[in-house]
Amino acid sequence: MKTYIGDSKLEGKGTFAKHLLKKSEHIKTLSGEIITLDEVWKRIENSEENYDDPLNLNEELFLDLDEPSRQINHSCNPNAGMRGQSELFAIRDINPNEEITYDYSTTVGTHIPSEIWHMKCNCGEKNCRKVIANVLSIPKKQLEEYKKLGALQDYIFKQLKSTK
Ligand SMILES: [Zn+2]
């Protein structure tokens, strides 16, 4: 394991680097139960789940993240990103004991409008967006940067190609 869970300055628990993680290095593959959107709704209605927690894998399927996988906070100026389906990797060098964050908007596709999902942010970064929503809510320049880094899930890359 390259990470450990500890108290976050951002919110609740967070995930931290055990040692130096080099830019583009694999950190961990997020895991959980694969469920459909219908099942997500069912779990939310039964208060078994918060809407913020399941991770989109594509337009139909979600990963109901296991406990360690959901202890990674969002930042508007993150040091990690998501690639493939659910692989977390470093988008710059991450120092030992530095909290690992990724931009949640990079995992929420254009099929989820902001009326359905948005989240307040208080990450304290200069470029904090205050309210985050799907991938199109990311400022253009930053989105281009994520694209260059490969820090978008496969299905998001596909969606962005077909919306242009
Ligand atoms: Zn923020």
Domains for the chain: give ranges and CATH numbers: 3-104+111-162 (2.170.270.10)
Q: Where residue 11 falls among pLDDT bands split at 50, 70, 90?
A: confident
**Prediction pTM value:** 0.94
Quick one: average pLDDT of 27-53?
Answer: 89
Q: Is the pLDDT of residue 31 over 90?
A: yes
* Residues bordering ligand 1, an ion, CB closer than 5 Å: 76, 121, 123, 128
Lowest mean pLDDT among 14-18, 26-30, 60-64, 142-146: 60-64
pLDDT at residue number 80? 98
C-alpha 78 – ligand 1 centre gap (Å): 9
Q: Is the pLDDT of residue 49 over 90?
A: no
Q: Is the pLDDT of residue 140 over 90?
A: yes
C-alpha 152 – ligand 1 centre gap (Å): 18
Q: How many separate helices (H) and strands (E) can be counted in the chain?
A: 3, 12
Q: Report which of residues 111 and 94 the model is more confident about.
A: 94
First to last CA, the chain: 39
Q: Where residue 53 falls among pLDDT bands split at 50, 70, 90?
A: confident
- In angstroms, what CA-CA distances link 36 with 56, 58, 119? 10, 10, 22
- State the Cα–Cα distance between residues 39 and 29, nearest whole angstrom: 22
| pLDDT > 70 fraction of the chain, expressed in percent and rounded | 99
Q: Which of 97, 101, 95, 91 is nearest to 26 (CA)?
A: 91
Q: Is the pLDDT of residue 164 over 70?
A: no
